[in-house]
Structure 1
Amino acid sequence: MSALFGKNGGNGLRETERPPANLLFMLAASFFLSIVSIYGAQASVFEKARESLLDRMSPMLGVFAAPVRMVSNAWGDLGDHFAVVEENRRLREENEQLRVWMHQSMALEQRLREFEALVDPKVIVPERYIPAQVIAENEGPFTRALILSAGREDGIRRGSAVVDGNGLIGHVVTAGRNASRVLLLTDANSHIPVYIEAVDTEGLLSGTSERRAEIKQFSGRPKGELTVGMRIVTSGTGGSLPRGLPVGEIVRLTEDGVEVGLYASDQGAHFVRVVDYDFPDPEIEIDAEEAGAAEGDESASLTGGEAAQNG
C-alpha cells in the first residue's frame, strides 16, 4: 500500500504517474485544429444555413420594421413641421423688416426727387446696359481677366464699367470688333478710384491677385474711424468709371490700409452687363459755346449791314 502514497504519507498519485503538461497542451491544440478544419470544410454548409435563415426571417423582419419605420417617418415629419414653423416665423420677421426698409427707401427716394427738383442737378444716367456672355477666363499667377462676346459693334468702348447682379466686377481694357477683354478688380494691375461713403474719403482700390482687393492709398485723412462693414462705391475721379457703382465693403482693417470684400464674384460669372455712360466732354461744350457765340456775332453783323443799306 505504501506504493500508492507519497513519501510523506500523502494520498496523491506519484509524480511519475501524473500526465505531463505538454501532452495536455498537444491534445488541446489537436482538438482546436480539428474544430477549425471542420468549420472550414463545412463553411459553405453554414453559409447556406445562414442564407436560408435570412430568407425565412426577412418577411418577419419586414413586418416588425414597418411600425418602426412608420414611427421614424412620423417623428421626422413632426421635426420637419416644427422646422417649417420656425422658418415661417423667421421669414415673417424678415418680411416685416424688409417692408419697413422698403417704405423708408421710398420716402428717401421721394425726398431725393424733391431736392433734385430744387437744385436741378445735371445727373448723368446710363444710356443703356449692354448684355454680354463670358466666353473665356484668363487666369494666371498675377492676371485675372474675362473675355466677353460683345465688342465695338455692340457699343462697348474701352474703359466701360462691367457689372453683374451684385456690383462692379471690372472694366474693359481692350475692345475688339466682336469681343472685349475685361480686367477684373482682383487683378494685380487693377487700380480704380473708390469712395468710402461713411467717412467721406476717397482711396485707390488695388487688386491682389488673390480674389480680394485692398485700399492702401487714401486721398486724405478719413473723416472718421474706419470700421468693418463700411460701404465702398466708385468715386468717378478721373472720368474712367462712373460714380456710385457698388464695389464692396470693408471686411478687415490692416496696418497700412483696409481689406475689401467685393460684392461681385469673379468665379462662375456667365453673363454680365457693360454700362454705357455718356460722359460730358468739357472741350466739346466749350467749342459749341464758341461756335454759338460766333454765329451770334455773324448774324448781328449781317443785321447791322442790312440796316445800314436800308438807311
Structure 2
Amino acid sequence: MQIHPSSMAGSRDSTRSRSVWSSRRRIHGCIRRRRGWRELEAAARQRTIGAEVSLANQRALRHKQGVMLRCLRLACILLLLAGSAEAGPLKLKTLQVGPRVYRDVTVLGSNTTDIYFTHAEGIANVKLKYLNEQLQKRFNYDAQAATEAERQQAEDDARYQATLAEELAARARKAMRDAKNAATTSDLNLADPISDKSLLGKPAPPLPTRWLGEKPELKGKFVLTFVWTPWSIPCRKQIPELNLLQRSFAEKLAVVGVTTEAEEDVRAVEGPVAEFALALDPEAKLISAAAITSVPHALLSNPNGIVVFQGHPAVLNTNNLSSLLKAFGGGTEEERE
C-alpha cells in the first residue's frame, strides 16, 4: 500500500501544530499563575499602605477632636452664662489683659477662674488672675479657689487626652492587624496562623536522623511530616489515608511518620502497616520545635522547606493536598493549567 507524500506532510504539520499549541498552553498557564501571585502581593501591599494612611488620619483626627472639644466647651459655658446673666450686662469700652487690648467689651459672665465676653473682633475668655484688682473684686476672684479649679481642670483634660489617645491607638492597631490578616489569608490556604508560635510560612523543623528502614529521598519534594504514637487509636486510623496519599503523589511527596516511642513499640503495632518512611525522635526535638501538644499532627512543607500547612492530618485528603501541591508548585503543567 502506498502513502501519498501530501498526506505525510499534512500529518507532520498537524503534529507540529499540536506541539506548538501545547507549548502555548503551558506558557499561558505560567503567565496566569504569576499574574495571580502578583495580584495577591499587590493587594497585600495596598492593604498595608491603607493601614498606615489610616493611622496618619487618626492622628490628625485626634488634633481636630481636641480643638472641637475646647470650642464646644467654650460655647456651652457662654450659653449657660448668657442665660443666667443679669438684665444689664457689664460693658467696657476697653479691657486690657497684659499687652492685649479688647474693645467694645460686653461681659457675659464669669466663673471661678475665667471671665467670658464678646468684643469687637469676636468672643474670648481670659483668666481672672490677669485682670486688674478692681475687676477681680467685681467678679469675686478667689486666688486659692481658682488655683484648685485650674488644677482639677488640668487633671480632667489630661484624663480625656489619655483616653482619646488610647482609643485612637486601639483603632490604629486594629487597622494594622486587619491589614496583616487580610494579607495573610488566601483562598489557597487550608488554615491561617493566629499566633506567632505557628509554623505556617516559616522553615520546618529538622527531621530526626534515626530511620526505621531506608532514608527517603526528600530533595525537591513536599514533605508531609506525620507526628504520631503507636498506642493512639486516632493516629492508627490515619495510616491508611496517608498510605493512599503517598501512593497517589509518590513523585512529588514524601510522607514521614515521626514518633517518640521505642522501635519495638512501633514494630509491634497491630493494624494497617505504614507504607511510608518512619523515623524515631526519642528526645522529642521535633515535637518541641513545633510546639505540638496532641497527636495525630501534620506538617506539610514545600520543596524549599517552608511550612504551608499545620494541623490535623485528616484535613489533607486527596483533593485538598492536590490543591496545595498545585498552588505551591507541586503539580504537573497540565494540572496547573
Q: Name the structure, 1 or 2, with higher relative contact order (CA <8 Å, separation 6+).
A: 2
Q: State TM-score, norm by structure 1.
A: 0.26
Instruction: Give the structure with higher Rg (CA).
Output: 1
What TM-score, normalized by structure 2, do the two folds share? Answer: 0.24
Greater fraction strand: 1
